[in-house]
Amino acid sequence: MTAIVVDGLRKTFGKIAALDGVTFSVEEREIFGLIGPNGAGKTTTLRILSTLLKPTEGSVSIFGHDVVKEDSEVRKFISYLPEDAGAYKNLKGTEYLRFMAEFFASGRDRESMVKRAAELTGLGERLNDKVSTYSKGMMRKLLVARALMMRPRLAVLDEPTSGLDVINAKEVRDTIKRFAKEGTAVLLSSHNMLEVDFLCDRIALIDRGRIVETGEPEELKKKYGAKNIEDVFIEVVS
């Protein structure tokens, strides 16, 4: 079954057209990357998919459910990681994870979910500290773990590795790859072209609210005669 079908998506904020006819689709178990310059419309697209914003025109369906009409159904199998997110300051790391897990499981299932997430964070003992004491990267790892711990059918990740050091970023990428193998469809945005190249099965280049190029990384590199995705990006956008 197709995980995401986006068709002719338009979104305006007053006079600003953030999205101007975006169309793409993502298959199950696929990792799909959205890349594009700042303000291109990546976050807006991901927010519409996550039922946070309503499209002005066009439609989005996730596993066959319309994001507007069946938003509460959609929320049951997606997990969204905002690009600029935080956690509840007064909770400890574990408390935060438990609070989040409670929405997806209960009893022993919940506890094993929390345990899995705790391992994913790699924060160890620090999970017993209040979230307010975490560094930016520690916070990001906590949030990535929370986004993946319930093994969602679709993970929508807005710049998942932003703020992470090289080692932690690599760990997160490996985790994402592993979850995709285990059955999670992933839609992510990123400014890190190496990351996109390594992670994504397919990518879409978005510029000024339109998809200007879609394809597998290798395919695109060949098409533009480029060494890497960065060159493709520069070629397409400029």
Which of 32, 43, 134, 185 forms a contact with Mg ion (CB under 5 A)?
Answer: 43
Q: Is 80 in the site for another protein (CB under 8 A)?
A: yes
Which of 27, 64, 90, 178 forms a contact with another protein (CB under 8 A)?
Answer: 90
Amino acid at 43: T
User: What sections of 29-135 are H helices per DSSP?
Assistant: 42-49, 71-74, 93-101, 107-121
Binding partner of residue 16 among Mg ion, another protein, ligand ATP, none, CB under 5 to 8 Å per kind? ligand ATP
Using the minimum distance from each CB to another protein, give the nearer residue, 105 or 237. 105
For residue 204, the 8-state DSSP code is E
Q: Is 212 in the site for ligand ATP (CB under 6 A)?
A: no
CA–CA dist 213, 205 (Å, integer)? 5
Using the minimum distance from each CB to Mg ion, give the nearer residue, 118 or 172. 172
CA–CA dist 204, 125 (Å, integer)? 39
Residues from 31 through 90 that contact ligand ATP (CB under 6 A): 36, 38-44, 83
Q: Is 136 in the site for another protein (CB under 8 A)?
A: no
Half-sphere exposure of residue 19: CA atoms within 13 angstroms, side-chain side? 27
Token pair in block for residue 207: 């510029």
Which of 3, 6, 30, 50 forms a contact with another protein (CB under 8 A)?
Answer: 50
Binding partner of residue 78 among another protein, Mg ion, ligand ATP, none, CB under 5 to 8 Å per kind? another protein
Residues from 64 through 83 that contact Mg ion (CB under 5 A): 83
Q: Is 61 in the site for Mg ion (CB under 5 A)?
A: no
First to last CA, the chain: 36
Q: What is the DSSP string of 108-147?
A: HHHHHHHHHHHHHHT-GGGGGSBGGG--HHHHHHHHHHHH
Binding partner of residue 53 among Mg ion, ligand ATP, another protein, none, CB under 5 to 8 Å per kind? another protein
For ligand ATP, the binding residues (CB under 6 A) are: 13, 16, 18, 36, 38-44, 83
